[in-house]
Copies of this chain bind each other. A is one copy, B any other.
Amino acid sequence: MNEYRLLIETSDTKGLVYSISKVLFEHNLNIVNNAEFVDNETNEFFMRTVITGSFDEKVLISDLEKVLPQNANIKLTNSNKKDIVILATKEMHCLGDLLIKYMAGELDANITAVVSNHDSLRELVEKFNIPFEYVSHENLSREDHEDLIIKAIKKYDYELIVLAKYMRILTPKFVNTFPKQVLNIHHSFLPAFIGANPYKQAHMRGVKIIGATSHWVTDDLDEGPIIAQDITRVDHNYSWEDMRDAGRNVEKVVLSNALDLVLKDKVFIYGNRTVIL
């Protein structure tokens, strides 16, 4: 039986769980999984409920709207695979990891295309019978190149865009074209080492741990809401290239874990933070 995910974000009021669960009960729905969170500082309420059963979506939403505060954000998604477009540059580890998971049936997504500013990943991508779009940035302004990238993405179905080590800075235009739809992997333990070549920075600083961060992309570079982070240990024996190589294992696992959470509709964006239910 198909599962649905009911996602509610609203200001907290007394009796909220009661009101919501009453509606679900009256619609005769089965609750497979339920998780809530209230931010006691801001009084914001989040709920993710996995339901099964037969119901009329419009009536359900409408009944929920009746009992929820006016500002409530209600979303109902199904558990079908989501379409994603992947952007990458030259590195294979994150992209390759997603391709293998995809082929193994372990990714809750259809990869509809891979778009890159270099042609070097074509061979890998086409092995998996996925369209590859090469959009060179040479001799183009950032804006003109980005327009072509946006055009290339829009040729395909997508609910999400995954930056799998896409090494170009994005303009606000790009971000606003795909609001709350762009997931990035940053090769540092943000907010440490914002900006270019974080492994070189980490090596210079002599850190004993390096990390990676997957986050939603917002206007501020490397400043969007964090979804997942992980780390690995390094020592004085590591050159910055060794750190980069060690970091790759972390990057691919963090990106893949963050994507998994997003595909399961578990991630609420809340200001510049995430609530993961």
Contacts and interface: CB of A to CB of B under 8 A. Distances in A.
B127 A206 contact: no
A275 B209 contact: no
A205 B271 CA distance: 10
Contacts of A274: 206, 236
A135 interface: no
Count class of interface residues, chain A: 35 or more
A141 interface: no
Contact of A272 (B91, B192, B205): B205
Nearest to A236: B275
B106 A245 contact: yes
A25 interface: yes
A61 interface: no
Nearest to A207: B226
A31 B236 CA distance: 18
Given A32-B40, A229-B209, A230-B209, A235 B18 contact: no
B236 A37 contact: yes
Interface in A203-246: 204-209, 211, 225-231, 233, 235-237, 239, 245
Given A96-B100, A205-B272, A34 B17 contact: yes
Nearest to A246: B257
Given A14-B30, A97-B97, A253-B253, 12 more contacts: A14-B28, A18-B21, A35-B35, A96-B96, A96-B100, A106-B245, A106-B248, A207-B226, A209-B229, A231-B231, A233-B233, A236-B276
Task: Pick the 10 closest A-B CB pairs, nearest first.
Answer: A206-B273, A96-B100, A18-B21, A192-B192, A92-B104, A18-B25, A127-B127, A17-B21, A15-B25, A236-B275
